[in-house]
Structure 1
Amino acid sequence: MACNRPNHQASDGRLTLSVPIQMKCRSGRKLVTLPNSEIAKTRPWDTVATSLQLALARGHRWLAMLESGKVKSLKQIATREGVDSSYVSRMVNLTTLAPDIIASILDDTLQNHITLFDLAVDLPVLWEEQRERIKHT
C-alpha cells in the first residue's frame, strides 16, 4: 500500500513505510537507485575476485572433482585444465588452510605482501604453524 506520507499507520495497527527508491535494469540486473539517483557503491557482483580468491576457489573445485570420482588424479585435472600438475597440487593445498586464513582471503583482508607462493608451497599441516608463517612472511 503506497501513500504520499513517509509513514502511515492503518486502523488495524499495521504500519506502512514508504521508501523512495526506483528499480532499474542494467545489463540484465535489477538495480535499486536511491532518491538522489545514487547507486549503492558495494554490490557483490561488481567486485573482481583477487588472484588468491580465484586460486582458493580452483583448489576447492579440483578437490571436489577428486573426491567425487569425476577425475582419478591431479594429473588428470591438469590435463583437462591445460596447466601443470604441480600448479593443481598447489591450488589443492590451499584447501587445508586454517579457517581464519581462508576467511581473510575471502574478505580480502590478508596482508598484501603475502603471495600465493607463500600459502601454497610447503604449507605446514598444523594451522598454528600456518598462522606463524603468515606473521613472519
Structure 2
Amino acid sequence: MDTLSPEARSRRMAAIRPRDTKPEMVVRRLVYAMGYRYRLHRRDLPGTPDLVFQGRRKVIFVHGCFWHRHAACKLARLPKSRLEFWVPKLEKNRLRDEAALVELARLGWSSLVIWECEIRDQDRLARSLRKFLDEG
C-alpha cells in the first residue's frame, strides 16, 4: 500500500526529470572542464545517450542507481511497497539499457555508463572519463 495520496504520488513522480539531473550535470561540468566537447541526448542513437562525442564515436550514459538497477548498490534497493509494480518496471529499464548498449556497439559506438554513486569521487571519475575518451 502506498503511503502517499494519489495526488501527492503524482506530483512526486512528475518531478523526476529524465535529463539534466544533478548527477548528469556533475559529469557534464567535469567533462567540459577537462576540455572535451559533446552533444546532448541524441535521439537518433539507441538509448538516447546523455553525452555524445561524435568524432570519437563514444557516448556516456549517466544512470541513477535506483532507476537503472545498479547491482550491489545501496541506492538501488527496492521499495517496500508495491513490489508487483516496481520489480517488472525496473527490470524492464535494465533490459532496455542493456539492449541499447548492445545496439550501440553493433553500430560501432563505444559506451561508458557512469552510476550516480560513482560521482562522489571526482578524482576517480575524472580518471575514468579521461581514459575512456582518450583510448583508441
TM-score, normalised with respect to structure 2: 0.25
* Structure exhibiting the larger radius of gyration computed from Cα positions: 1
- Relative to its length, the structure with more helix (as a share) is 2
TM-score (norm 1): 0.25
Where relative contact order (Cα < 8 A, 6+ residues apart) is larger, the structure is: 2
